[in-house]
Amino acid sequence: MEISLAGKVALVTGAGPNIGSGVALALARYGAVVACNDLDPAAAEASVDRIERNGGTAVAVPGDVTDEEQVTGYVQEVVERFGHIDILVNNAAVLGGRGLLDESAAFFRRAIEVAGLGSFLNTKHVGRHMAERGIRGSIVMISSSNGWSGSPGVIAYAFHKGGVNNFVRAAAMDLAPYGIRVNGFTPTAPNPDNPALIAQQGPGGVLSNPRASGIGGEGGDEPWRRPARWRGERNPLVPMGTTGTPTDIGHCVAWMCSDYARLITGTDFVVDGGARAKNFAYVPAAPSDLAGPLPVIPLDLTNGVG
């Protein structure tokens, strides 16, 4: 099966250096022209540079996904430049935050706006573009394992990722009559593989180099506080030994956006080495005892060098 996105135009929001950049690169390597959106213009340009180093075609369309005027502006810019949009990947989100007892209303509101309002606006306006022109396109929402199960210290993130999951199903029903598919993808703390990001932060993700407080912030220090996390030795969490990388995510998302997935809508895909599937009481074997997955099929062939 030869997956080809040739002739398709993709818009990826939140195309920052980790998952967003990996998905954007994958879509380009499979043949799509990619418009890279990010609130930070430098991050959008960096994603474009990575694609172009690898022989793809991309353009930066920075903007705030929560501002409808900006959204319609960069959607129109992509359409005017390339003629159409066939693929939308809603990846923009605010990571981190704090737990229920400590989170601020301002952070909670902004996190919900980026993931909720941002996904709605981009899906609405790209969806209208597709429907008006008879484009039977693909829309992918990036969720998180925190949208399906609980983790302390990230109440806003957990809330909006849970909302993403049902947005997928509802939007899929609205757009099904037009042949437009809407699906979710759930990553689980992937290890970075962007050479530029590794050079900046070092190899490994939050599983191989766990932060003291996980992906969320610490709580207060009042005398009545109880610990929210186990602070001792960390057991292996993933049955196959690794949750993969943005490249693994990109391969799957590219297939989801291809014509081979023509009848797949309203569902969720997971690439996480079995992390979400395992029972809470199951502790996988030590990494040294695992065969591990097959080698990753690389997409970034430049090692960050132009």
Which residue numbers are catalytic? 157, 161
In eight-state DSSP terms, residue 134 is T
70 three-state secondary structure? helix
State the Cα–Cα distance between residues 13 and 126, nearest whole angstrom.
Answer: 12
For CA atoms 152, 185, 249, 194, give the dihedral sign: negative
Kindly state the tokens that stand for 265.
């809508």
Residues 6+ apart with CB under 8 A from 137: 85, 86, 87, 88, 126, 130, 180, 181
Distances (CA, A) of 23 to 39, 142, 177, 243, 256: 17, 10, 27, 16, 12
In eight-state DSSP terms, residue 145 is G
State the Cα–Cα distance between residues 112 and 167, nearest whole angstrom.
Answer: 13
Name the β-bridge partners of 183: 140
- Which H or E run includes 129? helix 118-133
Kindly state the tokens that stand for 100.
């229920």
